Amino acid sequence: MKPGSSCFKQFCCSALAIAFAAVSALAGDGFAGSSVGVMQENDLVVRTDRHYTQGLKFTFFATEHDPNDASWVSRWAGALPALPLGAAATRYGIGFGQNIYTPTNIAATTLQVNDRPYAALLYGSFMLQQRGTAGEFAALDHWQLDLGIIGPQAFGEEAQNTVHRLRKFDLALGWGNQLTTEPALALKYERIWRRELWRQTDSHDFALQFLPQAGVSLGNIGTYAGAGCYFRFGWRVPDDFSQRTIDSITPHSGGMEQKFGCYAFIGAEGRAVAYNALLDGNLLHASHHVSKHPLVGDLKLGFVLAFKYCDLAYTQIVRSKEFVGQREIDSFGSLALRVKWGK
């Protein structure tokens, strides 16, 4: 969406609602408590209004369980195929989000055959996680099922142009060419490892960590294999698995409550993409599409302020070209708030 839009205000209102809804209490037994978060992504920070132009996602993660208890969460998570893991905790989560995609020229009403299609994705997520150890690494297994809809019923035109009307910006006029209605789904799995590379020996407050990752997604939302790694350095770095973005397979689920800490991070992710409906077009019907690049990479850097009961993060993402004929690489910002409380 355009620079100066109400996206930041929308994020702040959502964040305040989450903060007031959370009830703070101490978590015990070495398990992370519940958490709820909101993430807003937009390309306004680099003053563009194109391609992946807007994303909004809400997530909730329940309190961690003992993986050996009789809860349905532990039984289901333990039954899923995954890499070997000495499980120490398990939890479930749910999410709800909307992504909006447009070509570069939103003033044109005609089909722009050489640019990506207008598209909107509205979806819900169900997630299962197991946290533990894998050799000398802390590790997290994340399973996720996304179910939703692509097309007019995802309300991309309404969401984008309502904001533009309120802010007296030019409307996006090409939504009549958007992808047609079809179900959207993806089944995702990812393993993240975490290892401490260095820690200050006197106070144990400053640390440098290495976090590699690998995962796969199957479905019309995206069929791809991906891998990457992060480095993060900071003071009282939390025991989570670093900040994520909306299209990361594993969302940020929050760690234990702690004293104030902060860290900066930098990372890179690469994906080998077999199918992406938002570029390849509708799977079930003929539609506008572009020839995608099979290899896509992201560079991510940002910072996190980790308080006892909440985390506030900003990430800047630079993405390589996604389709043939794309003139410039894309960049966008991601602002996230996560509130956490005990069981």
pLDDT digits (tens, 9 = 90+) for 117-135: 999 999 999 999 999 999 9
Rounded-to-integer distance, Cα 23 and Cα 47, Å = 38
- Coil vs helix vs strand at 157: helix
| Residues 300-335 pLDDT 10s | 999 999 999 999 999 999 999 999 999 999 999 999
Residue 79: φ, ψ to 5°: -85, -15
Residue 90: φ, ψ to 5°: -140, 155
User: Residue 148: which of 179, 117, 102, 113 has the closest Cα?
Assistant: 179
Rounded-to-integer distance, Cα 286 and Cα 179, Å = 9
The residue ranking higher by pLDDT, 117 or 19, is 117
- Domains delineated in the chain: 7-341 (2.40.128.140)
CB 213 within 8 A of CB 189: no
User: Residue 17: which of 33, 32, 40, 37 has the closest Cα?
Assistant: 37
Mean pLDDT over each residue of the chain, to the nearest integer: 91
Per-residue pLDDT, averaged over 55-63, amounts to 97
Please give the span between the terminal C-alpha atoms of the chain, in angstroms, as a whole number: 39
Residue 157: φ, ψ to 5°: -60, -45
Amino acid at 124: G
Tell me whether strands 295-306 and 310-319 are parallel, antiparallel or unpaired.
Answer: antiparallel
CA dihedral sign, ordered 14, 334, 92, 151? positive
Which of 63-67, 79-83, 154-158 is predicted with the least confidence, judged by mean pLDDT? 79-83
